[in-house]
Structure 1
């Protein structure tokens, strides 16, 4: 009998994070299901970055509980989170421009021949990189080209593909289309759509640009003042509704500032 695969990948319950007298998160409740793309939206300072650092094990919450596939879990470090299938791709991508694509794909996880102290198995890494990128639909001139020669969208796709290759269950993408034009953004969104269609992982996209990511997200969460104040399926909301909510929050913040 096949084991039951939990639908829910990640749940955060009443997560708070304080840095001395500063409260970055006050009461975050969030869930992510397998095969789901969740848009995590919010202005600068809303708490998105702090929340993602907690999900990756870089920070530990002051209070609250994380659960992975229904099991309460404390993430002790980034390496611990990765061992449990949580991968993040940040805006800096953590790629080495002077290395070629396949070497970047295996960065710090290089294949070797002859045991741990052996030589790099370039042939195996190159073959695996080609197969993996083709399966994901990532099109680049060659896996032998230096990353510095690729476009911004292609570099982002390589960083995402590397995380997927590490068998990520949860993929966190920090502003994946920031500072990209329509063509570059479309390349990344196509990769996300492909991963979504496979239905094996959950993806969280942290973004400012609602319009770019709206079509690929199944659900939208809005972070305001260290809490999630809005949680709706994408089909039940609109870019206009989200824009109106952010404008309202901005006006309230200005009034509060003037009143103080």
Structure 2
């Protein structure tokens, strides 16, 4: 089932074109790897799909709806979960508190009542699914390893049940063993119906994907 579609998508900074004429579709239950040389616009494309930037030309559809007509805050609190390259976790909070905060923000943006106890229970459950013990879930972020922090970031992205997961170089700072474990988590998410879209330089991650989308650097000559 198609969950996202890009139609003739372009993006420019002034006269400098970053992306030009990108068209592709993304289905539930699959992992997609977006690859290409540095400067090809991979992270820019992810920003467009997450609603953090607007395309210069073209249209993005999410679950059949035109994104530009959607409330961007609600869109990012309901339809997609974003995993950043540097995790973007709040270091003064514990792992479980980071996930809880994401749930609260989602509820506020969707105008829903916040149930803190239910959120706490759900956050612990998500972190357990990601492989964190209860004592690890109660640790502050800086007391966790890079691999554990990535698991927290994934749990946070899943905390409000989005259909689509966008990940920017999620294994870039991890050792090979941890990289394999994180990709195992993504494979399980896809098996459970999520659409996982990963920007990556890793040949291993690209090989693990169901489909590979290669971006070419725009020729400015």
TM range (shorter): 0.7 to 0.9
The aligned residue for residue 203 of structure 1 is 196
SS in structure 2 opposite 1:79?
helix
User: Aligned partners of 1:156 and 1:124: how far apart in 2?
Assistant: 23
CA RMSD of aligned residues (A): 2.7
Residue of structure 1 in register with 2:97 after alignment: 103
Consecutive unaligned residues of structure 2, counting only runs of 5 or more, are: 106-113
- Give the alignment's TM-score, normalised by structure 1: 0.74
- How many residue pairs end up in the alignment? 214
Change (3 A) 1:71 1:188: same
Equivalent position to 2:88, from 68, 89, 94: 94
Aligned to 1:221: 213
Which residue of structure 1 aligns with residue 124 of structure 2? Answer: 130
1:155 aligns with 2:149: yes
**Inter-partner Cα distance in structure 2 for 1:108 and 1:49:** 22
- Secondary structure at the aligned position of 1:107 is classed as helix
Aligned to 1:28: 22
Corresponding position of 2:110: none
Higher relative contact order at CA 8 Å, sep ≥6: structure 1 or structure 2?
A: 2
Q: Say if 1:63 and 1:183 are closer, same or farther in 2 by CA, change over 3 A.
A: same
- The C-alpha deviation readout for 1:212-260, integer Å capped at 9, x for no partner, is 4422x1000100124xxxxxxxxxxxxxxxxxxxxxxxxxx9xx9xxx8
Give CA-to-partner distance per residue, 1:64-119, whole Å, 9 cap, x none.
111122333316664143145022111121211221111011125449xxxxxxx9
Gaps in structure 1 of 5+ consecutive residues = 1-6, 112-118, 227-252
Q: Computing the radius of gyration over CA atoms, which structure comes out larger, 1 or 2?
A: 1
Is residue 43 of structure 2 the alignment partner of residue 49 of structure 1?
yes
The equivalent residue for 1:188 is 182
Deviations 1:21-44 (A, max 9, x none): 111111101211011100000111
2:160 paired residue among 137, 162, 166: 166
Aligned CA distance change for structure 1 residues 103 and 192 (closer, same or farther; 3 Å): same
